[in-house]
Structures are given as C-alpha cells and as structure tokens.
Amino acid sequence: MNFSVRLVPAAVAAALLAACSGGNGATSLPQAPQGGITPQTATTTRTSAYSVVENGAAISGTHIMPSLQNRTLRALAQVKSAGTNNLNYYGGPVQQNAKIYLVFWKFGSNDPYGEQSRITSFVQGLNGSQWTSTLTQYYDGAGHISNDIAYVNTWNDNTNSIPSRPTQSSVAAEAARAAAHFGDYSVNAMYFVALEKGHDPSGFATQWCAFHSTTSASGSTIAYTDFPYQSDAGASCGENSVNGGSGGILDGVTIVGGHEIAEGVTDPQAGNGWLDSSGSEIGDKCAWTNLQNTSFSTGTFPTQPLWSNAAGGCVQ
C-alpha cells in the first residue's frame, strides 16, 4: 500500500524528539494485583511529543495518535515496538469498567460516508472481544481492567454550534456538556466526541488523527476523545490502509477509534496511567503497523495491534 507522507519541518522534528528525552519522576508503584504484570521502573511521565500543538504551544494533558504524515512520531513508535520497552504504571487511574458515550457533534445529515454507523457498530462490539482482552493485564491500585468495555448511549448534539476549526478547549467544553447530558462524571466514563465533516481542528491529518484528554466538569475530572471526521484526512488517517476501493474508505475510523479507546482505558488522564519511558501509550507503540481486519460480535473492522507487556510486543 502506498501513502503520501510529508516530512514535518526539521525544527519541529527536533523539538518532538527532544521532548521525548525529558519528563518527571514517576510515582511509586503499587504492588501488582494477583495475576498482574509487574512494570519496569518508571522514569518519565507525559511527553510533549504526543501533545496537541495550538498556536505554536504544546497543550499538556493531551495525547495524540500521530497521522501517517507525522513521520517523526511514527518512526519513534517503530523504534519502541522493536524492543521490549514495556509500559510502566505512573499511579493514576485506569478505567476498570469503561463506559463509552458517543457524542456526534452537529453530524445531522452531514455524514456522507456513514461514519456514525461505523463508529457505533465498532464500539458496540468491543465488550468481551479478543482484541480488548489485551487491556486486562493492566491495573491501578484498586484492581485490573475488565474486558467489559460497555457502549452506554449516543447523543446527537445538533443544538450547540460547532466552530469551523474546533480547538482543544471547545471540544473539552462539548465533552463537559455531554457529561451533564448523561449525568455521568465517573472515572470510568469516556466521552467520545465525533466532529461534523468539514470542521477539522488545526493539526488534523498533518500531525494527528485524534487525541484523548481530560477536562473538569461539575468538580470532577472526565475523560474524552477528540475525533474529527476521519474521511476528511483520507490516506493520512488510514483510508484504504487495509481494504481497497470503496470498502476501505472507512478503514481509519476503527483503526484510529480503537487506538484512542484502548489508550483512554489504560491511561484516561493522558500521562499518569500506563506509558513507556518515552511517553508512548499502549496504542502508540504499535501505531500503523500490522493492520488487519478483526472480527467482533457486531462485524469485522480494521484494527491495529496493541502493546502487551505479557508478550513483550504488539498483539491483535
């Protein structure tokens, strides 16, 4: 398969790589629950290399999936997946019983490729799947992640206006509105905010395909994913990366969506869950490698592998 890949400017690439070498000391590790994988000694927390950049500044607490045009981070992921640089635990929460709320912001009838239907079917099939079973080896101080990745509900928000180029803060505000709509402010809640076609944030496709982060809502910290209309990015975010022709237009929807969901479960606060020593999360270490069609209870969807500490590598 051929992708049109554009190098990032040299200064940006240097800054991204430099960011991977810094970080803060990790929190002390809890004893692994029975059956847990004991992590390596953690030395680094979140890194700006995976942060959203707006107006030339990295926004801390955000964690992107690099696009196929972002050659610097893709190269980093390939280096990290080549060895056994396992994920480390940094003391924050995981989503032991993840609850996914889908938010379609101003989709209305502006969904020519049927991304809403594809996302919904994919999320509904995650519960108990073999693909998500990789997540169950990871844990926090209260216990392991279960393979109960539950789709809860959908909100089609056609009332609140969406900016032409939504910023991180505007998507965070939409996630907070969704939390109020559903009334769930728990650590297990994941608000997956899908944006209307044509309303593409700065950096989408050229640097990243989606990101996850947190925001404050009614005194609680909630997790959310910023998920632009993937088909706007074409091959840069996975179109036809597994399947050819019209059958592959939506390949990137579940590759990118699955990447963000897996990272949201294992590192919901984007920097204090499970990451390796460079700041790569469970999906980053295997991004855009060994893509395949994977069977779920609701159908067959393209997916990427996830990093397994138990296997010391990427597994589907």
Print the SS3 string covering 238-296: CCCCCCCHHHHCCHHHHHHHHHHHHHHHHCCCCCCCEECCCCCCCCHHHCCCCCEEEEE
The whole-chain average pLDDT of the chain stands at 86
Instruction: Tell me whether residue 28 is in a domain.
Output: no
Handedness of CA 229, 234, 236, 240 (dihedral sign): positive
Share of residues in the chain with pLDDT > 90 (%): 77
Instruction: Note the pLDDT tens digit of each residue in 253-283.
Output: 999 999 999 999 999 999 999 999 888 999 9
Instruction: Tell me whether residue 6 is in a domain.
Output: no
Instruction: Tell me whether residue 2 is in a domain.
Output: no
According to DSSP, the residues that pair with 208 across neighbouring strands are 66, 204
What's the structural domain count of the chain?
Answer: 1
Instruction: Note the pLDDT tens digit of each residue in 47-88.
Output: 468 999 999 899 999 999 999 998 777 666 665 555 568 999
263 phi and psi angles, rounded to 5 deg = -70, -35
State the pairing for strand pair 139-140/143-144: antiparallel
Angle between helices 10-19 and 71-82 (to 10 degrees): 40
- 172: pLDDT strictly greater than 70: yes
State the pLDDT at residue 22.
35
Mean pLDDT on 156-185:
97
Structure confidence at residue 297 as a pLDDT band (50, 70, 90) = very high
Structure confidence at residue 236 as a pLDDT band (50, 70, 90) = very high
Range(s) of the domain holding residue 252: 45-315
Task: Write the CB contacts of 209 (distance below 8 Å, at least 6 apart in sequence).
Answer: 64, 65, 66, 67, 228, 230, 233, 236, 237, 238, 252, 256
Instruction: Tell me whether residue 14 is in a domain.
Output: no
Instruction: Tell me whether residue 216 is in a domain.
Output: yes
Share of residues in the chain with pLDDT > 70 (%): 81
Q: How far apart are CA 253 and CA 230, in angstroms?
A: 6
What CA–CA distances, in Å, run from 57 to 12, 53, 87? Answer: 11, 5, 27
Instruction: Note the pLDDT tens digit of each residue in 300-311.
Output: 999 999 999 999
State the pLDDT at residue 70.
86
Query: How does DSSP classify residue 77?
Result: H
Task: Write the CB contacts of 255 (distance below 8 Å, at least 6 apart in sequence).
Answer: 238, 241, 242, 291, 302, 303, 304
According to DSSP, the residues that pair with 296 across neighbouring strands are 299
pTM for the predicted model, two decimal places:
0.86
Instruction: Tell me whether residue 163 is in a domain.
Output: yes
Instruction: Tell me whether residue 259 is in a domain.
Output: yes
Instruction: Tell me whether residue 85 is in a domain.
Output: yes
The answer to whether residues 184 and 99 touch, using CB atoms and an 8 Å cutoff, is: yes
The one-letter amino acid code at 73 reads L
Q: Token pair 């509105």 is at which residue? A: 177
